[in-house]
Every structure is written in C-alpha cells, then in structure tokens.
C-alpha cells in the first residue's frame, strides 16, 4: 500500500499529438488508474523546447513530487532538468534524453542499438551491396543523434553499402517529404531508405510513388505501433518493408515513479527491447497486440463494474445516514 494520496506527478511531453505519444499517455493512464488518489499534471510543449522549459518551471512553482520528462531537444532542456534534480525532485527521463547524467532514472529503448539493427538489417536485405538514404529525426533530439550513430556503425559492417544522402525530417511526415523532394536526383540512385520513424517512412513511400521511383526501393521505419495508421499495419500492407519496435515506456515510467516515491528499490536504466518487424513476423505481432488489447478491454470492463458497485454502496450509505438521522 503506497501513500499515493499525497503525490503529484508532473509529466512534461515534448509533443503530444502523434500516435506514438498518445499511446504513451494511454499506457501511463492505464497504470495511473491503479493509483486513483495521485494527482497527475500533463503538459504538451508542441515541439517547442523553450515552451517545454517554461512548462517545467511552472510545474516546479506549482509543486510536484516527481517529474517525468521527454525532452524535445537534449541541450535546451538540460538546464531545467538539472535544476529540478538538484532541488531534490526525482526526474524520470523517458524516450528522449538531456545532455546530462543528472536524472534519477531513464526509461526507453536503446536508440543506438535500434540504428545499428536497422543498418545491419538493410545490409542483409541488400545482400551487402547498394546505396542507402537516411531520413533523420529532429536535429539535437537524442534519438535522432543515437539512431544516426548506430545506423552508420551497422552499415560499416557492409563495405559494399554506402549512405549516399541524408536529410532531416524532424520526426514529421510533411517535413520529411519536403526535404526528400529536394533531393530527387539522389533518390533515383538509392536501393533503400532508413527513416528514423514510421510517419517519415510513410512520407518517404509517398514521395517515391509520386516521383515514380521503382517499387523495389526498400523503406524501413521505427516505432511499429499497433492500430489504425500504425507501423504494423503499414508493414502488413507493404507500404513500408520493415519497422523496428520502439516501445513507448509509458507503463514502466509510472511503475518506476511509484517505486521512487515510495522509497523502494528501482532500476536507474530501464532499457526496453526492440525487434525488427517485417513480412516474416508482422502477423504474429498483430495477433499478440490484439490479444493484449482484448485483455485490456476486459480489465476496463471490470474496472467500470467495480466503479458501479462503489457508487451503489455509497448511495446506500447515504440512505442509511438519512434513516439514522430521521
């Protein structure tokens, strides 16, 4: 039994609108529902590092017991995260990192490893020969830096493969498309494209189609989300060739938060596993997700039944009190 009633958890999200981060928040809320008395403050910086800094400042002024943060860019958010930590407020960094080691715990997959897996995978798909393009995330955000570094190292293992062109798509479909159109001549000479996330990978496929570049060009993304518009569906329908799973860590961040708040032992580096999903295993992955999803629905049904019971019980208490008084 924890003392959740006293706790306020602040969660500072760098940009809240996309499917991946909505999934992260859903996972958090699911776990938070087991702690009905906790106060949860959520802010969305809309992809603006300055705004995110201000939002964290405001949380500190209002008073929080623990901060969960996904920093939009590493450097601009470092100072405020260090300040929070130095005030003695525990900080859980999720998905994106700052440039500092001053944080209480990290939750997320190993982005260097993901980049390397992508490089090695393309190396084997292209049988060790060819040109590849890279569509990178937002410059200065840690997953873009780490996925790029890993990808270069993965490709290095195949001396016949060359990264011939790189653009920044800032994690956004429209930006990726705009940059890719600009490099049309170079695109005509690539055999595969690694995009740092699935939304940019889907934008990449659109551009290839628009420029009537061969369907044979392999497109690889990251995230592999279940559901409508997610990467799994895009792999299954062959819009993209493969995606690397990037778990959101929403649930793990909340469980870690309560371990810290309740002064229990916790893991500082919580590294979540990734895996390549392509046509060979996508059906299995979809099946597993739909199983989890139906179990989730069962839990929600049970929770709302419990809530109904509680209401009925409370009403009966009221009636009892009335009877006693009269």
250 sits near ligand FRU (criterion: CB under 6 A): no
> Are 109 and 274 contacting, i.e. CB atoms less than 8 angstroms apart?
yes
247 sits near ligand FRU (criterion: CB under 6 A): no
- The count of other CB atoms within 10 Å of the CB of residue 100 is 15
Q: Which of 9, 15, 163, 167 binds ligand FRU (CB under 6 A)?
A: 15
Cα distance between residue 73 and residue 101, in whole Å: 15
Cβ-Cβ contacts under 8 Å for 162 (sequence gap 6 or more): 130, 131, 132, 155
120 sits near ligand FRU (criterion: CB under 6 A): no
Q: Which of 44, 73, 95, 146 binds ligand FRU (CB under 6 A)?
A: 95
HSE (CB half, 13 Å, CA atoms) of 322? 6
For the CB of residue 194, give the shortest distance to ligand FRU in the complex, in Å.
13
20 sits near ligand FRU (criterion: CB under 6 A): yes
Cα distance between residue 122 and residue 14, in whole Å: 30
115-142: burial string, b at 16+ Cβ within 10 Å, e else: bbbbbbbbbebbeeebbbbbbbbbebbb
Q: Which of 130, 159, 139 has its CA nearest to residue 220?
A: 130
Binding residues for ligand FRU restricted to 161-200, rule: CB under 6 A: 171, 197
Q: Which of 7, 11, 12, 18 binds ligand FRU (CB under 6 A)?
A: 18
Site string for ligand FRU, 138-167 (x = CB under 6 A): ---x-x------------------------
Helix (H) or strand (E) holding 203: helix 198-210
For the CB of residue 186, give the shortest distance to ligand FRU in the complex, in Å.
24
Binding residues for ligand FRU, rule CB under 6 A, total 14
96 sits near ligand FRU (criterion: CB under 6 A): yes
Among 48-56, 116-124, 135-143, 153-161, the segment contacting ligand FRU (CB under 6 A) = 135-143
> Are 13 and 25 contacting, i.e. CB atoms less than 8 angstroms apart?
yes
246 sits near ligand FRU (criterion: CB under 6 A): yes
- Cβ proximity to ligand FRU: between 135 and 190 the closer is 135
Footprint of ligand FRU (CB under 6 A): 15, 18, 20-21, 95-96, 137, 141, 143, 171, 197, 222-223, 246
């Amino acid at each position: 039994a924890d003392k959740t009633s006293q706790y306020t958890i602040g969660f500072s999200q760098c940009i809240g609108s996309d499917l991946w981060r909505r999934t992260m928040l859903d996972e958090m809320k699911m776990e938070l529902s087991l702690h009905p008395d906790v106060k949860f403050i959520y802010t969305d910086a809309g992809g603006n590092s300055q705004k995110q800094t201000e939002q964290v400042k405001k949380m500190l002024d209002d008073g929080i017991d623990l901060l969960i943060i996904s920093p939009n860019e590493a450097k601009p958010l470092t100072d405020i995260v260090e300040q929070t930590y130095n005030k003695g407020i525990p900080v859980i960094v999720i998905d994106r990192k700052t440039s500092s080691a001053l944080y209480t715990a990290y939750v997320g997959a190993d982005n260097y490893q993901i980049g390397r897996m992508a490089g090695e995978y393309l190396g084997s798909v292209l049988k060790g020969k060819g040109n590849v393009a890279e569509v990178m995330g937002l410059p200065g955000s840690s997953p873009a830096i780490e996925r790029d570094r890993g990808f270069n190292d993965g490709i290095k293992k195949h001396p016949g493969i060359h990264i011939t062109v790189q653009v920044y798509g800032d994690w956004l479909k429209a930006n990726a498309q705009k940059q890719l159109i600009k490099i049309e001549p170079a695109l005509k000479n690539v055999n595969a494209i690694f995009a740092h996330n699935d939304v940019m990978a889907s934008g990449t496929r659109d551009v290839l189609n628009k420029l009537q570049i061969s369907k044979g060009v392999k497109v690889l993304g990251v995230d592999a989300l279940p559901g409508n518009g997610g990467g799994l569906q895009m792999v299954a329908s062959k819009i993209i060739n493969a995606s690397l799973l990037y778990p959101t860590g929403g649930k793990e961040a909340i469980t870690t938060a309560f371990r810290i708040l309740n002064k229990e032992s916790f893991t500082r580096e919580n590294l979540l596993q990734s895996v390549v999903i392509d046509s060979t295993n996508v059906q299995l992955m979809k099946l597993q997700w739909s199983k989890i999803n139906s179990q989730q629905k069962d839990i929600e049904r049970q929770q709302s039944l419990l809530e109904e019971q509680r209401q009925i019980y409370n009403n009966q208490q009221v009636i009892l009190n009335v009877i006693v008084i009269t």
